[in-house]
Amino acid sequence: MGVVQYQKYDDRRTSEMQTTTPDTLAHPALEELELAAVLHALSDPVRLRIVAGLARGDERTCASFELPVTKSTCTHHFKVLREAGVIRQRPVGPARFNTLRREELDARFPGLLDAVLASA
């Protein structure tokens, strides 16, 4: 399969080109993680519940979480977490396997994740 480029617009930046293939998802690099985006992603109770579930260390599918929202809203929450750099998603067929980017978040923002999870 070929490489697809698409334009992504964001309130904080004018525009950014990202390259992805149909079997991959775009994830920000460590140096691209922004504190405001991470804090925004962690500010929602549903997203915080997802992060707390992933903090246990297991890779989990989106469907493995029992969340009090519709499927489309759940998809939105996972997208916000991925685009902020909080989680990494790995597509396998129609499912997406999720892991917390704990080591990367701890390297970029030491103590932040532990503080947020402890207060949740």
Separation CA 61–CA 104 (nearest Å): 21
Evaluate whether residue 56 is within a structural domain.
yes
- Whether 16 maps to a domain, the answer reads no
CA 72/CA 108 separation, integer angstroms: 30
113 falls within a domain: yes
**Domain extent for 69:** 23-119
Sorting pLDDT into bands at 50, 70 and 90, what band is 67?
A: very high
Establish if 79 belongs to a structural domain. yes
pLDDT of residue 23: 58
Tokens at 104, concatenated:
């990367």
Neighbour count for residue 38 (Cβ, 10 Å): 22
Q: Which residues contact 89 (CB under 8 A, 6 or more apart)?
A: 25, 27, 78, 82, 96, 97, 98
Percent of the chain with pLDDT over 90: 75
Domain count, the chain: 1
Q: pLDDT category, 5, cuts 50, 70, 90? A: very low
Q: Report how far residue 114's alpha carbon sits from residue 95's, in angstroms, rounded to the nearest whole number.
A: 28
In a domain, 7, yes or no: no
- Nearby residues of 114 by Cβ (< 8 Å), 6 or more positions away: 106
How far is it, in rounded angstroms, from Cα 31 to Cα 104?
A: 10
pLDDT computed for residue 57 by the predictor: 86
- Here the CATH number for the domain that contains residue 80 is 1.10.10.10
Q: Write out the two tokens for 57.
A: 């260390």
For residues 15 and 73, the model is more confident at: 73
6-22 pLDDT per residue, tens: 334 344 443 344 444 44
Does some domain include residue 71? yes
Q: Are 78 and 87 in contact, with CB atoms under 8 Å apart?
A: yes
| 44 or 11, greater pLDDT | 44
Residue 17 CA to residue 26 CA, distance in Å, equals 11
Flag whether 92 is in a domain: yes
Q: Report yes or no on 18 lying in a domain.
A: no
Q: How far does CA 75 lie from the centroid of its chain?
A: 11
